[in-house]
Structure 1
């Protein structure tokens, strides 16, 4: 099988020899193969000699080899000593982010293609194998069983994020290399595509990487990922455990300058390209401490008893958090969160615009999980009143937009009503797929294999967009939305934004842009060009 590097070289040579046109050269390359150019791979010879001991989902491409660790803290500690590690967890949560960054790769027992581990790993360009249910995990004693062998902390494993294979021991890896032909093919792709390509990025480092790979803006900045830094999580936990609006506002006031600094760094990294900032989305229970020491520290900071804090944490438990108290529902209950985030976004934009008068900076504020037009109006009114007050106080001239994610089927069905308030739409197809099918995206991995075997499904609907059902809702939302606002921009920022067949479908629907994780930007650029040339 020809490598991606060889395919690019052959395509360029054929153009240079006058045997093929640029358009034909662009059409010759399989976008999915570009992954191998952007991530480390196993040495082909060493891989041939190795036998997998287990298999999960290839959730984020590349190859990783390292010593097994079981917690995010251990991953950081071992990495600080210069050890290469693979983080093995039942599943990851937002508080594992720093440990995930410190690891070479991530292996989880639970979760599908859009689980937390998969999405975050793809964003960081890190290898991840998720949903390996054959693992018998004992997190408390830091060991797991797989393929008839018990692995303990410090044992070496290798994982392949492209195939999902897991190997005992070390397999040699080869670093990623991008040669000149890559740039030429990409330049041709950009010439012929109509769809814009943005990126999903939460940090200036991710945004810079995506810009290097050709992203034309940020389609999704998940603000919650910014709350997990050690200095901020304490203030956010104070907010959650507050009894009064005043206490909540005091805690949020500590976070506001940090959020503002984050947004300023993002605007700087994007140099005037559009930035869509999604307001707080996850349920609050994801932010509360689970370790006894952290609970005690929070109780002390709040002047409350440990029992009281534990009672607050218990009260946040939900039976179905994905459909619970999250998204815009948080802003309806706690408007002060939306006010704080609005101030941070607008102040950051004013400062960066002052420093770079030639840049076009129009913040796009995105309200998540809207299902009812009145709900959006309620939150939008808070955002607009806050933003206008900040702009007036600064004596600035700043335009901004307030839009929404279309991720609840009802939002797609009533998109004309919602478009009266929303200035733009962005399809959150991870949640839209989950709610349209009624599948939990974190649990579907347990039964989807049976669906593939029985030929009920050919693909994972979370990895490749379901054009028949979810696609019909998207088509309906675009038609209804544009009947009210003909010139509104509409994008997609679910993981489907980096899947070639889904990108082609988005081109046919007439979307303005697709947004995907940084390392999938070249795939989306090439797929968008191929869709335009078909």
Structure 2
């Protein structure tokens, strides 16, 4: 209706943009339960990823993957998910877990995939042995059909009528108006070429975060990654990394090609290494089984090495432990391999007549010396590759700002960084000293109910604390380097209230999940229009 009124000259384009709400856009992008239908929820959890889905309940990740592949509609039900569960998640219609908060693995991955997800449904009593769950007197068995609504966090028995998502011509028109007025760029967080293509369809003008660890978790690579981690010498590690490099190069080639002519920020390995190894309890059980079966000594000793390494790498607080640039400094060969793969992929595309724009991002930098040393190492590999291949590729090296100290010393770090990207998920954790996964299921709900906090700080940016660090980092960074590009790639990048803050803080762009790109385009335009008419 707003578009018709613009065409008839009744309202301006600006008024049309202001009349559409972010909630209306969000609803159009996800399947939803038909609002005319009365439903009886049996359980409630945290609404971790919007949209609704129906399917048969499956408790085993492998089975979910196989049955999902063959075309069945599956809802994957787990206590929580881990990086090893990606395939099962990818082939399920929706995900339901009894543990975890809004940044639990299941929540983050589901949002990226655009799949409905509910986490932390604690009232559900799960029995993985008998393959059932019980909640409020209702027993649900494997293969029973349930519906989950990730926008409301509700679970319903049976199939419920849905409304399909569509980007209507009217909405596309309003978003085209929005692009005329917004000052913030809008990019997307995307880890696969498919996600990048979807982001482009939704109007993203680049990738603000491509996480490389997801690429290591695929079935054909995880064993090689695990071999690399249990290797005892640099030479051994390099041997396995060379194997991974070919695979990573293909990943980067595909994603840079999908975003031809647009910047793609690729974050080097960020999680702690223990996340790539099977869980300790599982390794201990597997080892017992191998010995009971009198398996060959070679197989047993490999499993023993995994267990020893898993114990060595296990930490009390991995979120602020041995991860990100710290791993990159201790094992530089990992970042060197990734940097070479990025540039080689860009060179291949350049030869084919494409225009790749790779940007290499170093995670978890908190001190200028970390940035200086790693920049030198990465740049050396990149320049050597460019000189060897004799093809010019423009590239940049920058950092994620997710440690308070990085924001407070941004003037020093900017000497060695071509760009900053605020990782506000971790910056919020490190500023508040909250572990998000724990806080969201323990005291945060109480804090919000009792008005100790007025906003969920992981959903909407905390302007007085985290926001102050963002502003400090922007001012200090640009004092050193006037042309420093600054963006944000945390989940706040898709939140309308946070987008308003980033506009006034002077950022260049926001980056969010592909499914939130239209919302970010609209919100960025609305704040720019309101500022001009104020």
Q: With the length of structure 1 as denominator, give the TM-score of the two structures.
A: 0.94
Deviation at 1:305, TM superposition (A): 4.4
Asked if 1 retains the 8 angstrom alpha-carbon contact of 2:277 and 2:306, the reply is no
Asked if 2 retains the 8 angstrom alpha-carbon contact of 1:238 and 1:302, the reply is no
User: 1:208-223 counterparts in 2 under 5 A?
Assistant: 208-223=197-212
- 1:166 is the counterpart of 2:161: no
Find the counterpart in structure 1 of residue 517 from structure 2: 521
Deviation at 1:222, TM superposition (A): 0.2
- 1:37 is the counterpart of 2:48: no
Asked if 2 retains the 8 angstrom alpha-carbon contact of 1:220 and 1:276, the reply is yes
- 1:278 is the counterpart of 2:267: yes
Whole-Å Cα distance in 1 between the matches of residues 120 and 504 of structure 2? 33
Find the counterpart in structure 2 of residue 352 from structure 1: 349
Deviation at 1:178, TM superposition (A): 2.1
Query: RMSD in angstroms over aligned alpha carbons?
Result: 1.8
Asked if 2 retains the 8 angstrom alpha-carbon contact of 1:66 and 1:158, the reply is yes
Whole-Å Cα distance in 2 between the matches of residues 158 and 458 of structure 1? 32
Which deviates more from structure 2 when the two are superposed, residues 454-463 or residues 207-216?
454-463
Find the counterpart in structure 1 of residue 16 from structure 2: 25
Which deviates more from structure 2 when the two are superposed, residues 147-156 or residues 514-523?
147-156
Q: Taking structure 1 as reference, are residues 300 and 239 closer, same or farther at Cα in structure 2, changes over 3 Å only?
A: farther
Deviation at 1:303, TM superposition (A): 8.3
Deviation at 1:308, TM superposition (A): 3.0
Find the counterpart in structure 2 of residue 5 from structure 1: none
Whole-Å Cα distance in 2 between the matches of residues 299 and 191 of structure 1? 67
The aligned length equals: 521
Deviation at 1:137, TM superposition (A): 2.5
User: 1:177-192 counterparts in 2 under 5 A?
Assistant: 177-192=166-181
Whole-Å Cα distance in 2 between the matches of residues 428 and 299 of structure 1? 46
The structure 1 residue matched to 2:432, chosen from 437, 442, 445, is: 437
- 1:153 is the counterpart of 2:149: no
Unpaired stretches in structure 1, ≥5 consecutive residues: 1-9
The structure 1 residue matched to 2:229, chosen from 203, 222, 240, is: 240
The structure 2 residue matched to 1:454, chosen from 450, 453, 456, is: 450
Whole-Å Cα distance in 2 between the matches of residues 440 and 254 of structure 1? 35
Deviation at 1:249, TM superposition (A): 0.2
**What do the CA deviations read for 1:221-275 (whole angstroms, capped 9, x no partner)?**
0000001111111111110010110000000010001100110101110011000
Question: In structure 1, the residue corresponding to 2:378 is in which secondary structure?
Answer: helix
Whole-Å Cα distance in 1 between the matches of residues 286 and 237 of structure 2? 20
The structure 2 residue matched to 1:50, chosen from 31, 39, 42, is: 39
Asked if 2 retains the 8 angstrom alpha-carbon contact of 1:197 and 1:524, the reply is yes
Whole-Å Cα distance in 1 between the matches of residues 110 and 475 of structure 2? 34
Find the counterpart in structure 2 of residue 485 from structure 1: 481
Asked if 2 retains the 8 angstrom alpha-carbon contact of 1:114 and 1:495, the reply is no
Which deviates more from structure 2 when the two are superposed, residues 296-305 or residues 381-390?
296-305
Unpaired stretches in structure 2, ≥5 consecutive residues: none
Question: In structure 2, the residue corresponding to 1:258 is in which secondary structure?
Answer: helix
Deviation at 1:131, TM superposition (A): 1.7
**What do the CA deviations read for 1:326-347 (whole angstroms, capped 9, x no partner)?**
0001111100001100100010
**What do the CA deviations read for 1:160-204 (whole angstroms, capped 9, x no partner)?**
111111112221222112221011001000011111000000000
**What do the CA deviations read for 1:431-459 (whole angstroms, capped 9, x no partner)?**
00011111111111222111122111232
Deviation at 1:146, TM superposition (A): 1.7
